[in-house]
């Protein structure tokens, strides 16, 4: 039986919900059935103080042309600093049900990216005087996120983390890892490596050749911080070649496309945000340890 053409698509219902507190800001957040962490558009708007009539008119005009433009990033002065990747990724709106209410939201990882847009616009001197207060608020939010990663904050606020921890390890691994090795694709953005080199005081080169320490650092701040048990299983599925001392494949090729790969992407975005607000490697380590207090032993790798 065919559905009626005017039948609205069924929206997902939040499985967990809460209030994300960063400084004085309080942003409603939720976890959806597919595990996606989302934060409300209204909450982001309030947190950034973006409530001007001009922003609302810009959003309405953009929607009239089929391009959703949230109020918190609507000012025209921000347009040069908004990438296509941001518009076609984290800035894609997500709707879900909270009881009978429909909530307009965005992927939780959008928050540090939007803050970064405001800060870049301020640095370039593109903002009007009355907009500087929003850039200041973006800086406060960014500093708050340096202490606790956005995904971890949402999990804590909604109570989702406790439920994840109760799940059996084999169920997590079944969802998080791919049954078959995926084809290689670039998963680690250049900005991730550039920030490591900056904090370490190393000279950056666009060459694909990396110092061997990069691999150890990547294990310490990326793979060791994935859900418990994932790294151990990755090592089993992607062992070191006998007598070679290296692995034939990249660990990320064994992460599932629907959960493992998106979680890796979210984690890298968190790390880059923490790096950007850190002036030195020691400061980054302190911020990282505050964001992920269960991360285990510290690392101290210098050339």
Q: What confidence tens digit (pLDDT) does each residue in 274-298 have? A: 999 999 999 999 999 888 875 444 4
Query: Does residue 5 register a pLDDT over 50?
Result: no
Q: Per DSSP, which regions of the chain are E strands?
A: 16-22, 25-31, 37-40, 94-98, 101-107
**In the predicted structure, residue 6 carries a pLDDT above the cut 90:** no
- Please write the tens of the pLDDT for every residue from 248-284: 888 888 888 888 888 899 899 999 999 999 999 999 9
Q: Give the DSSP letter string of 229-268.
A: THHHHHHHHSPBPTTT-SBSS-GGGGB-TTTHHHHHHHHH
Q: Answer with the residue of higher pLDDT: 37 or 206.
A: 37
- For 219-229, write each residue's pLDDT tens digit: 889 988 888 78
**Average pLDDT in the 65-82 region?**
81
Residue-level pLDDT at 23: 78
What are the Cα distances from residue 275, in Å, to 39, 152, 286? 23, 17, 11
Whether the pLDDT of residue 86 is over 80: the answer is yes
Q: For residue 93, how many other CB atoms are within 10 A of its CB?
A: 13
Integer Cα distance of 149 and 24 in angstroms: 17
Say yes or no to pLDDT of 114 above 60. yes
């Amino acid at each position: 039986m065919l559905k009626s053409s005017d039948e609205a698509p069924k929206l997902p219902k939040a499985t967990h919900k809460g209030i994300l507190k960063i400084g004085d800001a309080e942003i409603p957040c939720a976890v959806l059935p597919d595990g996606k962490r989302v934060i409300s558009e209204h909450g982001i708007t309030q947190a950034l103080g973006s409530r001007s009539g001009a922003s609302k008119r810009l959003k309405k005009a953009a929607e009239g042309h089929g391009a959703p433009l949230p109020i918190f990033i609507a000012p025209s002065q921000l347009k040069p600093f908004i990438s296509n990747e941001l518009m076609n990724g984290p800035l894609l709106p997500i709707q879900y049900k909270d009881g009978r209410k429909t909530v307009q939201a965005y992927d939780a990882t959008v928050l540090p990216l939007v803050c970064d847009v405001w800060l870049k616009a301020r640095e370039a001197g593109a903002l009007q005087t009355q907009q500087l207060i929003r850039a200041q608020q973006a800086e406060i939010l960014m500093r708050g996120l340096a202490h606790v990663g956005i995904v971890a904050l949402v999990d804590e606020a909604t109570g989702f983390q406790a439920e994840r921890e109760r799940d059996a390890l084999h169920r997590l691994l079944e969802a998080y890892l791919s049954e078959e090795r995926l084809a290689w694709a670039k998963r680690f953005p250049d900005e991730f490596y550039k920030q490591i080199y900056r904090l370490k005081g190393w000279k950056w080169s666009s060459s694909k050749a990396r110092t061997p320490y990069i691999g150890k650092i990547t294990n310490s701040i990326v793979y060791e911080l994935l859900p418990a048990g994932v790294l151990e299983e990755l090592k089993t599925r992607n062992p070191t070649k006998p007598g070679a001392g290296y692995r034939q494949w990249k660990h990320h090729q064994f992460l599932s496309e629907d959960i493992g790969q998106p979680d890796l992407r979210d984690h890298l975005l968190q790390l880059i945000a923490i790096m950007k607000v850190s002036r030195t490697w020691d400061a980054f380590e302190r911020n990282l340890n505050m964001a992920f207090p269960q991360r285990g032993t510290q690392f101290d790798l210098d050339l």
